[in-house]
Amino acid sequence: MVDNAPKLSVRNLSVRYGDKQALNGISLDVFPNEIFGIIGPANSGKTSFLRALNRMEEFDANMTVEGDILFEGQDITAIRNVYALRRKVGVVFPLPVGLPMSIYENVAFAPKLAGIKKKAELDEIVERCLIRAALWDEVKDRLDALGSLLSGGQQQRLTIARALSQNPELLLLDEFSIAVDPVTTMRIEDVLKELKEEITIVLVTNLVQQARRLADRTAFFLESELVETAETEELFSGVVKDQRTRDYVEGRFG
């Protein structure tokens, strides 16, 4: 990780769903070209953190967000068009949800919305994104086939390709390996290691060893709060400030 200005700064972030507190006073920084891991047991607020980064409260009347989220120094609420934000911040959810269209159109959809019309340019984007998602060799001869007919692991990689089609600067991944077999999981992990040379990645995972393999730094969430953030290898080597972190990574609860 390069010591420079944060790509993402979060200060005193709290999230509620009605009367239920999902996050309470989270403050952390994510730096350019790092994989930032977030671990913690179920219902610790990890997914709510990603939802807040993507301004999903604007589409959920029950969700309330307080605090400051700065993307490249700019408050994300100052970006008037939420879709402009989402062109910079891509999201991959736990279960792949492909658009009801061909493999090609799944990847070309966002570039078309952005005004790209030339087929040659769209072809280049589709090929590049499928290559980056480690899917091109498996689908290049059937790009007109429905994306929904792909295997679960292929659909997850198609979802990553679709997120990459907007050239995001920040990629949010929420439990990407839930519906993916171990071999495909390792392939996607290799993809993420390569992608961090170009973009910044926030990785939410329930698999602590996945965080250890991938993340440069890792945050531990517990009961809606951030317990601590540390260099990943330090966190897994026991160099932690809070005994709860050590207990979690060593599997004493979860």
DSSP class per residue in 20-78: EEEEEEEEEEE-TT-EEEEE--TTSSHHHHHHHHTTGGGG-TTEEEEEEEEETTEEGGG
Structure tokens at 221: 């969430």
Q: In which residue are the tokens 């945050």 written? A: 219
Domains of the chain: 8-249 (3.40.50.300)
pLDDT tens digit string along 173-198? 999 888 778 888 898 899 899 999 99
Question: Is this model's pTM higher than 0.75 or not?
Answer: yes
**Residuewise pLDDT in 10s, the chain (254 residues):** 445 799 999 999 999 999 999 999 999 999 999 999 999 999 999 999 999 999 989 889 999 999 999 999 999 988 888 888 888 998 888 766 667 899 999 999 999 988 999 999 999 999 999 998 989 999 999 999 999 899 888 898 999 999 999 889 999 999 988 877 888 889 889 989 999 999 999 999 989 999 999 999 999 999 999 999 999 999 988 788 889 999 999 888 76
* Residue 243 CB contacts under 8 Å (≥ 6 apart), including other chains: none
Q: What confidence score (pLDDT) does residue 2 get? A: 46
pLDDT tens digit string along 30-75? 999 999 999 999 999 999 999 999 998 988 999 999 999 999 999 9
